Structures are given as structure tokens and as C-alpha cells.
């Protein structure tokens, strides 16, 4: 099964920010319900519209979102205290922290939370030297992350490695490196998961949904088992289910059939 982190409860989006600041709880609940109905496995919660208000907004959002669903949440912030505020409100089995990197300071901040709350963790393949431009650079950071998690006593099945999706509008080769990064992770560290912020690939392009869907197909075929997406986007969940069925990842097409029956395509 794929881990689908639904991305719409994000206060950097104007529509969400305005409703959250107005404390329109029913609007937020409806957003949660729509994403769950379309097949999300987790709801991402990002309160990062205003750093000065992020802590307060996270507490409110976490209360409203957790009350609208029984699914685990994914708490999304660069601030450790904001992540912990969300975890204190709701920490269900399957909860994921979004995210860390291999940067020394980020790991030092986030790994204690992973251990304290027994969560999953998304880790981007970036380190103190910045974003790698090559596949080899990504692979080296993957190795570094897996070694660090093992040394910290964190099982690799709690790790969701993001091999960095970057816009093809500025460097088309980056998409291929992301795909090959997924292959590397799944081959060398089968217990670890893969995770991508899919829509980054189409930044700056028209009709972005076409690029996002095509990239999703290639990533799923490569072994991707997690994505941060909008599950309500036209055709996104259907193309994921179809790709898993065609590539033999969905035994006897049962996931595809169930999703179709339940209206999640």
C-alpha cells in the first residue's frame, strides 16, 4: 500500500490561511473529509503562514483536523516547538513528522521528537553542504541518513526518505535523478520508505497536473511507496492505482478494484 499524505491543510495556501485565521472550523473539517474520501492515508498539517503565529495556529489546526478524522496526521514545520505542539494534541499510531534533513542541526532538533513520540520521520536528502546536484550525492546522503537512524535506534521502517523533487523547468535531469534515487533506496534499504513532494516537479509550468501525473507513474514504477499530494486532484489517485496494478505491485488488482468500488479514483 502507498502512504498518501494529503497536502491541502497548509496555511501557505491563501484559501486555507484565510479560513484558519478566521477560525472557520467547519471549512477545515470539510477539507479533511474530502481528502480522506479520495484515499488519503495521512493528513498533513502545516500552520506556517506567519512564524509569529505558527505555534498558536498549529495547536488550533491540530485540534480541528484530529477531531475530523481518525487517520494519523503528518505535522509539517521547520520549528521543533511547533512540531511538538502538534504531537501533544494528537499522536496516533502512524503519525509522521514532516520533516528533517541530514543537516547536523536539523537532525539534532528532530530525532529526539521521533524517539520521544515514536513517530515516523520524513528525511530529505540534503546535508550541511546543501542540495546535491547529482544522483551520487543523493545516494551518499541516503547512506548517511540510514546509518544515523540505525545508530539512534530508530527502525528504518519509520524512515521516509525524500530523494528531492526539483522543477524540471530549470533542470530536466533532476527528475531522472529522483526516480533513480527511489530505485536506490528500495534496493539497498528495503525496510525504509520513500516519499516525495510530487508537485515540485511541475513548478513554473502550465497545466501542471499533466506533468505531476506522468511523473507519478514513473515514480510508482520505480518503487515509490509514499507521496505528498492533493488526492482530490483530477485523476491522481486513479493513475496511482492503475500503475500499481499494471506493474504487479497490486496483487490481483484488488487495491484497484476496491478503490474503484469505494469511489477513490
DSSP sequence for 22-58: TT-HHHHHHHHHHHHHTT-SEEEEE-TT-TTTHHHHH
pLDDT > 90? residue 262: no
Report the predicted TM-score, pTM, of the whole model to 2 decimal places.
0.96
CATH number of the domain within which 16 lies: 3.20.20.20
What percent of the chain is helix, strand and coil (3-state, nearest 5)?
50, 15, 35
Please indicate, yes or no, if residue 157 is contained in any of the structural domains: yes
| Residue at 249 is within a domain | no
Mean pLDDT (whole number) for 145-165? 97
| Alpha-carbon span 94 to 172, nearest angstrom | 34
Of 262 and 40, more confident = 40
Per the domain annotation, does 238 fall within a domain?
no
In a domain, 192, yes or no: yes
Asked whether residue 12 carries a pLDDT value surpassing 90, the answer given is: yes
Among 130, 163, 127, 166, which residue's Cα sits nearest to residue 148? 127
Q: What is the pLDDT of residues 15-60, one digit of tens each?
A: 999 999 999 999 999 999 999 999 999 999 999 999 999 999 999 9
**Alpha-carbon gap, residue 248 to 237, rounded angstroms:** 17
Indicate the number of domains in the chain: 1
Asked if residue 161 is part of any domain, the answer here is yes
End-to-end Cα, the chain, rounded Å: 15
What's the pLDDT score for residue 66? 98
Query: Can you give the pLDDT at residue 224?
Result: 97
> 212 pLDDT band (50/70/90 cuts)?
very high
* Range of the structural domain that residue 42 is part of: 3-210+222-229
Q: What is the mean pLDDT of the chain?
A: 96
Residue 14: inside a domain, yes or no?
A: yes
Model confidence at 263: pLDDT above 90: no
1 has pLDDT over 90: no
Domain assignment of residue 108, yes or no:
yes
Residue 201's pLDDT is 97
205-210: average pLDDT:
96
Amino acid at each position: 500500500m502507498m502512504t498518501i499524505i494529503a497536502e491541502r491543510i497548509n496555511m501557505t495556501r491563501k484559501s486555507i490561511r484565510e479560513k484558519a485565521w478566521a477560525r472557520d472550523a467547519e471549512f477545515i473539517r470539510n477539507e479533511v473529509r474530502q481528502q480522506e474520501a479520495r484515499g488519503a492515508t495521512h493528513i498533513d498539517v502545516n500552520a506556517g503562514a506567519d512564524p509569529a503565529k505558527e505555534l498558536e495556529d498549529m495547536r488550533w489546526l491540530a485540534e480541528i483536523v484530529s477531531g475530523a478524522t481518525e487517520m494519523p496526521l503528518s505535522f509539517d514545520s521547520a520549528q521543533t516547538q511547533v512540531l511538538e505542539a502538534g504531537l501533544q494534541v494528537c499522536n496516533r499510531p502512524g503519525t509522521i513528522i514532516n520533516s528533517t534533513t541530514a543537516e547536523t542541526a536539523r537532525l539534532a532538533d528532530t530525532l529526539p521528537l521521533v524517539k520521544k513520540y515514536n513517530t515516523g520521520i520524513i528525511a530529505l536528502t540534503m546535508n550541511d553542504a546543501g542540495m546535491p546536484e547529482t544522483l551520487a550525492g543523493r545516494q551518499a546522503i541516503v547512506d548517511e541518513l540510514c546509518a544515523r537512524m540505525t545508530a539512534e535506534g530508530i527502525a528504518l521502517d519509520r524512515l521516509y526518505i525524500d530523494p528531492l523533487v526539483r522543477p524540471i523547468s530549470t533542470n530536466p535531469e533532476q527528475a531522472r535523478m529522483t526516480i533513480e534515487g527511489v530505485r536506490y533506496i528500495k534496493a539497498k534499504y528495503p525496510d525504509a520508505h520513500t516519499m516525495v513532494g510530487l508537485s515540485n516537479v511541475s513548478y513554473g509550468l502550465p497545466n501542471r497536473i499533466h506533468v505531476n501525473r506522468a511523473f507519478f507513474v514513473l515514480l510508482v514504477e520505480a518503487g515509490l511507496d509514499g507521496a505528498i499530494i492533493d488526492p482530490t486532484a483530477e485523476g491522481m489517485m486513479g493513475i496511482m492505482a492503475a500503475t500499481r496494478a499494471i506493474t504487479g505491485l497490486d496483487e490481483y488488482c484488488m487495491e484497484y478494484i476496491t478503490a474503484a468500488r469505494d469511489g477513490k479514483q
